[in-house]
Amino acid sequence: MDSRLWMMKCLRYTDSFPIADVGLHNALKHLLRLERKPSIEKIQALAANWKGCEALATFYLWRSLYDENV
């Protein structure tokens, strides 16, 4: 388990952000209808609006991979 994921799940840090997570990349690729996974720079630009809530955004993005109602 990555330390950022541990901080999100165990310590409930809402600003922890596993920016290199494959699931996060796949969710963004799907939701943004990209041909390839987004770069770290692209994700950083998108996440600029998520300050303080990066973990929550990540959970919703992960959930979007298996729940179409998200």
Mean pLDDT by 10-residue block, N- to C-terminus, for the chain (70 residues)? 63 77 95 96 94 88 84
Q: Where are the domains of the chain?
A: 3-64
> How far is the CA of 38 from the CAs of 5, 25, 59, 68, in angstroms?
20, 6, 18, 21
pLDDT of amino acid 4: 67
pLDDT of amino acid 52: 86
Sign of the four-CA dihedral 34, 1, 46, 39: negative
Catalytic annotation, residues: 21
